[in-house]
Amino acid sequence: QFGDGSQITESFLLRIFVLLSSICGLSVGSELSFVTCGSVIKLLNVKHNVRLHSHDVRYGSGSGQQSVTGVSAVEDSNSYWSIRGTSGASCTRGTPVKCGQTIRLTHVNTGRNLHSHYFASPLSSNQEVSAFGEEGEGDHLDEWTVQCSGSVWKREESVRFRHKSTDGLLSVTGEQYGRPIHGQMEVHAMSNPSQHSLWKVMEGVFMKPSESPAGGRDFAHTHTEF
């Protein structure tokens, strides 16, 4: 807290930490072999070698919501997402994410959730994927189920994310945008599993079990949600 009474918010601290992580290549909790609730991560589409990304640029068609793309840049801080529980199921900080568990992925820099619905995507006319909500609160269309092979989501494993409400799989098939996001790839949802829908955790800040995060962004009004 500053002398004038203003406070440093958790979201501000997390953004600074993510920025430092991006610059310095930090990977806190990197010894963990599994992915945990409350972690802030980058997700790589294995087939196309792009990271899941968002920014305050809206689609010019479809829903008009904030766009979600795939980028080849490794260092971009707009590719960080936090792993959170849903309105109906908590995701306690530091606990392993289970295979089959439903989560929300919240874009750190804008506070909007990875989202899908039956609008057509701009380039391929598959199912649009967007970022939706304010300060981490959107609706039931922000919920994704982690599909992996064992009991928990392992760091080295390629996984899929199935949209709970529409059954679409988070995918990239290589279509590229022009201006103003030239070279970025379309991210959309498709009904059938393929190599295009495999994702792997890369860089991140990984919460250890029972660890209290330094500057964790808590969108929920409890201390068990990240």
User: Is the peptide bond prior to 122 cis by the omega test (within 30 degrees of 0)?
Assistant: no
Query: How far is 114 from 144, CA to CA, in rounded Å?
Result: 8
What is the dihedral sign for C-alpha 147, 151, 152, 158?
negative
Per-residue pLDDT tens over the stretch 105-158: 999 999 999 999 999 999 999 999 999 999 889 999 999 999 999 999 999 999
End-to-end Cα distance, the chain: 22
CB contact at 8 A, 110 and 131: yes
Computed over every residue of the chain, the mean pLDDT equals 85
Tens of pLDDT, residues 161-207: 999 999 999 999 999 999 889 999 999 999 999 999 999 999 999 99
Looking at residue 178, what DSSP letter applies?
A: -
Quote the CA–CA distance of 18 and 40 in Å, as a whole number. 8
Give the chain's domains with CATH numbers. Answer: 40-205 (2.80.10.50)
pTM of the model: 0.82
Return the closest-CA partner of residue 188 out of 180, 197, 177, 179: 197
Please give the Cα distance from 123 to 188 (Å, whole number): 10
* Residue 203, φ and ψ in degrees, nearest 5: -70, 160
Q: What is the pLDDT of residues 36-93, one digit of tens each?
A: 999 999 999 999 999 999 999 999 999 999 999 999 999 999 999 999 999 889 999 9
Token pair listed for 142 = 């922000």
